[in-house]
Structure 1
């Protein structure tokens, strides 16, 4: 069964990998434009935060973005190749030595900052 799914997903994934969506890394500060439908209108809502984890699974790849809003940490999981994601803009690249940045959940303020990658 898995061979059949991979056979269908591979050409679609190759076509989508040419976009900048696959170039985001853990520790990057990103601005993600999400398309939102309200009734018969659609609009783009931006979500800005730090990528703390990435789950690579072909077309089902996801990233978890964390931001602090009014002193409360908010995490949101985005499907990387979803048609609802209009754009992903990398604002800053962070220098990290871990694959998952779960330790940032316990940090606040300046302690939650990452060094810039040069």
Structure 2
């Protein structure tokens, strides 16, 4: 009985921190994520642009893994989308995919790693 009440309290607190202005994110979307960077006493927004290759849903702990190619090297970064450090998420393009995780893109290079774009 006590465990049930504490879970309700925890869920209530977590729900107050959830962001409501997020776009619908799908696997294969090309996104632009604005991350707040603090340098000394200044704060700025740095954008990270890439393809969502994985998504993990668990309320406040929802994460997306974004992959981009920089100077021929693949870079992946995991973002906690409800984090206060995430300023904005913008969907640039959507792609047609048939997998829930696109880890196979790690092995592909160049034109082979492109995804078929959907127009909607």
Residue 20, structure 1, aligned to residue 22, structure 2:
yes
Rg larger for: 2
| TM-score, structure 1 normalization | 0.88
- Could you say which residue in structure 2 is the equivalent of 1:73? 74
Cα distance, 1:7–1:113 mapped onto 2, change above 3 Å: farther
- Could you say which residue in structure 1 is the equivalent of 2:95? 94
Q: Distance in 2 between matches of 1:2 and 1:104?
A: 42
Unaligned 5+ segments in structure 2 are none
Q: Distance in 1 between matches of 2:17 and 2:80?
A: 16
Q: Distance in 2 between matches of 1:89 and 1:35?
A: 15
Does the 8 A contact of 2:17 with 2:82 survive in 1?
A: no
Q: Distance in 1 between matches of 2:107 and 2:81?
A: 26
- Could you say which residue in structure 2 is the equivalent of 1:59? 60
Unaligned 5+ segments in structure 1 are none
Q: Distance in 2 between matches of 1:75 and 1:47?
A: 10
Residue 104, structure 1, aligned to residue 105, structure 2:
yes
Does the 8 A contact of 2:17 with 2:60 survive in 1?
A: no
| TM-score, structure 2 normalization | 0.87
Q: Which runs of 4+ in 1 moved over 2 A?
A: 1-18
